[in-house]
């Protein structure tokens, strides 16, 4: 009898501890543009995320690290990516800031939350298991369970390349036919049920690999969006810009950046034909080319809507279990829209003789065994009103749409928060919310001091002290310091200067007007680089070149 009483007390105590702790859901989209969501000015149907924004806050200046791996490293550790060992991609360059996997001098939020009584789960993309360290898996770095792909990018129809860890855990019978975004959510819901069985608070990292290429979605949803994009990218940019003005996301005197430049195409013979050229006018394209591009963007939009639908499944589950109001939900993108690699996108299964699909074959786009991107033209529209794209440190590359829904702490609903922050701050905020301490040492290793800072004061409606933020990826650099921002791209190889308060679309380079400011901020960048294992851009980093998009072979569409 006494033993039964003790067990009941223990169970009640465990339930009370779980009730006291805030559940945390961190949702990351892959290559989502700044203005894609409805609540950020887009025409894509995203009612679930729009509702989270309406009941929470939208950040206009949350900065990422310009690319998948570096952003994920910062998001998981609260450090600049180089300090965590992932300043580039997953190739091991033998340099401290560019190992391609999380080093031993950082610790993940998952590890610290697990130490603090949380169940920790990752459903989706990890992308921190470097070629030099295959042991850097989610379950080795603090997650109790994992389901997702280890590829940089992965077919949404190939169930065989999505993995379960620990390996002895049974795989679910996921919704069929298999589609990755749906399957990732199936596991996320399973993980939440697992935490409830143990009466534990939980940290769910829901890292969708959509809408990263390959562009793949059910045909009926693609068809729904065709008419949206017949007007072309120039008109879409104008419409998004005007909607953003009405939503109060951008100031009335902000200029829409010019149609973007096409970036350099690495390791492709055709790159030199496009380098430095402006994205073509939509009205100047042939009808065949337009038909092809319309379907690419429609496929992308369908992928974004499916992500929103699946986030809706998670929100419904939280509400059904009475957890929605005591759960902190973060949503953001890992970088800006993806311009890889020319105005019209690329194909893993090239058209015969590089010609367009015939009309009868267009319906195949986005279906199983196809592999497309949407190119620079649409990426430029998806990053409205900003300049440039993923890879680069202009605003279009490093600005994330970001939503925080946290009823317990949020002051005011539907708030637009304009304070600048960095993804490493999200990690610090999660630790603050969970009451988890950040260590100086772990497993006999000295841990780098936390560089992110908690955003909880901002969430509660308070102003936070400004600070300088730094960026580097592939030699692309930036410094954001109060109203000033300097930018260095790997193809111009010189510093530019912008008044980011008046000119966040970076249309007027003021470097020649204020050389002393450029010099001062460049010196700051050099000092930061030396302290954070950042290499000068003259060092050539090895990585997979773009031709390796062919490593994941799929069957070409049947000939007609």
Which amino acids are annotated catalytic? 68, 127
Half-sphere exposure of 546 (CA within 13 A, CB side): 17
For residue 215 the two structure tokens come to 């562009």
131 to each of 100, 123, 150, 198, how far by Cα in Å?
7, 21, 11, 36
Please provide residue 558's backbone torsions phi and psi, each rounded to the nearest 5 degrees: -65, 145
CB of 65 within 8 A of CB of 246?
no
Pull the structure tokens for residue 26.
């961190």
Q: Which residues contact 6 (CB under 8 A, 6 or more apart)?
A: none
Distance (Å) of CA 507 to CA 254, 255, 403: 10, 8, 27
Q: Pull the structure tokens for residue 9.
A: 């007390």
The pair of structure tokens assigned to 508 is 């007027």
Cα–Cα distance, 76 to 98 (Å, whole number): 16
The two tokens of residue 193 are 């049920």
Between CA 535 and CA 477 the distance in angstroms is 11
CA distance 336 to 323: 32
Three-state SS for 96-143 is CCECCCCCCCCCCHHHHHHHCCCEEEEEECCCCCCCCCCCCCHHHHCC
CA-CA distance, 27 to 30, in Å (whole number)? 10
**Of 335, 472, 474, 341, nearest to 396 (Cα)?**
335
How far apart CA 264 and CA 146 sit, in angstroms, is 36
Measure the CA–CA gap between 269 and 437, rounded to whole angstroms. Answer: 51
């Amino acid at each position: 009898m006494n033993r039964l009483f003790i067990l009941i007390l223990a169970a009640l105590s465990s339930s009370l501890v779980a009730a006291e702790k805030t559940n945390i859901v961190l949702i990351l989209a892959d290559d989502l543009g700044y203005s894609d969501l409805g609540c950020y000015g887009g025409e894509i149907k995203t009612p679930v995320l729009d509702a989270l924004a309406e009941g929470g806050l939208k950040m206009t200046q949350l900065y990422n690290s310009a690319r998948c791996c570096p952003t994920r490293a910062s998001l998981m550790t609260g450090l600049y990516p180089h300090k965590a060992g992932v300043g580039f991609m997953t190739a091991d360059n033998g340099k401290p800031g560019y190992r391609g996997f999380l080093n031993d001098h950082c610790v993940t939020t998952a590890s610290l939350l697990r130490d603090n009584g949380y169940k920790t789960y990752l459903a989706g993309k990890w992308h921190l298991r470097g070629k030099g360290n295959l042991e850097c898996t989610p379950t080795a770095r603090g997650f109790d369970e994992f389901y997702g792909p280890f590829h940089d990018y992965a077919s949404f129809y190939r169930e065989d390349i999505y993995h379960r860890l620990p390996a002895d855990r049974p795989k679910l019978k996921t919704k069929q036919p298999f589609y990755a975004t749906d399957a990732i959510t199936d596991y996320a819901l399973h993980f939440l049920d697992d935490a409830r069985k143990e009466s534990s608070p939980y940290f769910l990292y829901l890292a969708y690999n959509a809408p990263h290429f390959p562009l793949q979605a059910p045909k009926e949803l693609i068809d729904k969006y065709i008419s949206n994009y017949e007007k072309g990218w120039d008109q879409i940019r104008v419409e998004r810009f005007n909607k953003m003005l009405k939503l109060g996301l951008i100031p009335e005197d902000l200029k829409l950046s010019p149609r973007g430049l096409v970036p350099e195409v690495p390791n492709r013979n055709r790159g030199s034909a496009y380098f430095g050229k402006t994205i073509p006018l939509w009205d100047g394209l042939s009808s065949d080319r337009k038909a092809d591009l319309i379907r690419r963007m429609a496929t992308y939009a369908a992928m974004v809507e499916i992500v929103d639908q699946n986030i809706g499944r998670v929100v419904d589950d939280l509400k059904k279990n009475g957890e929605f109001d005591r759960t902190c939900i973060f949503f953001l993108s890992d970088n800006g829209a993806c311009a890889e690699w020319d105005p019209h996108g690329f194909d893993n299964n090239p058209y015969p003789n590089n010609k367009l699909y015939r009309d009868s074959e267009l319906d195949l786009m986005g279906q199983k065994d196809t592999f497309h991107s949407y190119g620079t033209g649409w990426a430029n529209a998806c990053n409205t009103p900003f300049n440039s794209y993923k890879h680069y440190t202009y605003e279009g590359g490093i600005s994330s749409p970001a939503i925080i829904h946290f009823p317990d702490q949020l002051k005011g609903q539907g708030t637009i928060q304009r304070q600048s922050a960095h993804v490493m701050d999200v990690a610090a905020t999660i630790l603050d919310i969970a009451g988890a301490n950040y260590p100086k040492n772990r497993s006999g290793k000295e841990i780098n001091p936390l560089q992110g800072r908690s955003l909880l004061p901002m969430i509660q409606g308070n102003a936070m002290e400004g600070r300088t933020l730094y960026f580097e990826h592939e030699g692309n650099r930036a410094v954001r310091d109060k109203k000033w921002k300097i930018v260095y791209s790997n193809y111009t190889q010189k510093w530019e200067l912008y008044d980011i308060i008046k000119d966040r679309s970076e249309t007027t380079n003021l470097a020649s007007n204020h050389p002393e400011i450029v010099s001062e901020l460049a010196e700051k960048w050099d000092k930061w680089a030396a302290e954070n294992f950042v290499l000068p851009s003259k060092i050539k980093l090895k990585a997979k070149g773009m031709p390796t998009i062919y490593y994941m072979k799929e069957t070409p569409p049947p000939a007609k």
